[in-house]
Structure 1
């Protein structure tokens, strides 16, 4: 089966797509604190890597194998990142700055199920309202859409918090779903 050149290219391509997908997911799991799952995944990943690299190194005289390895690597990065987007592990904090005091933005976001803290702020052009919204990453895009719907000119910055402790979020929001 491995004597067929086209079959060899397909196998190398597929092996590298799977390897890099595992690699990407393992890295994200490690960063998110899922150490044991990441360690288990790395054991599978390294076996796939050694087999794929072995096939390429045993057949270095065939340039199409090296090309298949490189293309598989690139596709694997895309597939791994798409899977990570779907997994959407963790939480995000979104800071929103708006000059819309007449709208009750915090109340409307809370009604949608988001955890919101708000305060008065000063910007270059005067008074503003600052909001800090904490939500599960799986609701990130929905949150952005809602903020833009309520205030299309809102200034939005988001980041992933490393640790969360205490407050209303820990007590009740973690188990609650956004509408």
Structure 2
């Protein structure tokens, strides 16, 4: 029973820790502070049990395994939360493509321009969207041009423009 407790409490601790870190990075300071209370409570509870049962190497191994699984589950939780925004840059060889309008019709804000690639002109699109719609956006782009080059970045700050007016 102790092994199961050590395992589960460490998964919970590391998962909460990961979520707290993401909240801080996304600027949710108040929520991150509240989550940190739970994080430390879970950590102290688990660590006190482990320290009381250090007589067995199996307890330490289970603690380490719980930590590793916690990192994994924390990343899954963060992926499901999909907080914040991404900027997706799309480069397509289809210079005459109607991709900007098709993406706009799907609810994405698009800025486009022409750029020069190694072998000629390219249509370049910059799309700002919520992270939870990133996969949908990539699927739309691949449906229009399966060979499009796609790069995504997480903006820290954005001011002005069409998108900011829509999010306020």
1:125 is aligned to 2:116: no
Gapped regions of structure 2 (runs ≥ 5): none
2:14 aligns with: 20
Q: Return the alpha-carbon distance in structure 1 between the equivalents of residues 61 and 48 of structure 2.
A: 15
1:149 is aligned to 2:143: yes
What's the Cα RMSD here?
1.0
Q: Secondary structure at the match of 1:153?
A: coil
Gapped regions of structure 1 (runs ≥ 5): 1-6
The C-alpha deviation readout for 1:38-95, integer Å capped at 9, x for no partner, is 1111111111111211111121111111111111111111111111111110000001
1:62 is aligned to 2:56: yes
TM-score under structure 2 length normalisation: 0.97
2:77 aligns with: 83
Give the number of equivalent residue pairs: 168
Q: 2:106 aligns with which of 102, 112, 117?
A: 112
TM-score under structure 1 length normalisation: 0.91
Shift of the alpha carbon at 1:170?
1.2
Extract structure 1 runs of 4+ deviating beyond 6 A. Answer: none
Shift of the alpha carbon at 1:102?
2.4
